[in-house]
Structure 1
Amino acid sequence: MNQARQATLRIAAALILDDEGRVLLVRKRGTERFMQAGGKLEPGEPAETALRRELSEELGHPPVALQPLGEYSAPAANEPGCQVHAWLFLVTMPPRIAPAAEIAELHWVTPGEAQRLPLAALTRDHVLPLAMRFLQHRTPRSLS
């Protein structure tokens, strides 16, 4: 087979969950697919540094905490013929975030609700299954 090698984009992405069992998904301006907040690594930039920078730009605040979840690959959502190689982090954000920079909209959705949205492959194939595992092991919030 004589296929050209696909370009690979190196990104850092955030799995952000709230206390109500929802996942934060964002859609960038001029695109239709929902995905995680985050973005491309600059040359030589560590994934954690890139994610802190991207979250500050896209959501208006730096993260409170980051926990590495691993590395994943999938077809790129907005760049035909490209793959993404993503460093995924479980992220805690301050309570009030808002779309900024290139983010057109953000949605807090359950993993089931997310399945009805047009999703990036990374989100559909890797992030949502991880989110469901985290949510299954959470203890319900106290109502007191």
Structure 2
Amino acid sequence: MMTQPFILSPRYRLDDSSPWLEGVDPSRRYWLAVNGNQRLQVVIPGLWVSSVQELKEVILHFRSLQPQEKMVIQRMVGGFTIQCISSNCYAIQGRVNGALVWHLFDKEAMETLLMTAHPDWIPSAKDLELGRKLLEAAFRQPAYAI
């Protein structure tokens, strides 16, 4: 008997009937409810830029992606890759319950997430709470002495 859910590729569109975007925390990580399942949340790194010009360059690069091309986004810690699957399908690799998955986004949803990197973007109170939640989880991790 299988106790872990079998997840292939969660898909996200802005017009989905089930809400999948939990929020974008102040450090621009994307909080997703996998396929709209509120009990199955993941956090994936998001875009962080230091200027409007840098954001413009990233958006233009994203818009120019062709099928099978990818775009690597670097962050201070970690990063992620956007893989163009087709003209309206983009994938970001992640883990759900330890299993490697591709989170699939349409062009509008992916571009909307990238736009939250705008230097003037201000997170909502709910988004601030997501950031606190991640910090609390980090503080619960054991500290290692070297």
TM-score by length of 2: 0.30
Going by fraction, where is helix more abundant, 1 or 2?
2
Going by fraction, where is strand more abundant, 1 or 2?
1
Q: Which has the larger Rg?
A: 2
Determine which structure has greater relative contact order: mean sequence separation of CA pairs < 8 Å that are 6+ residues apart, divided by chain length.
1
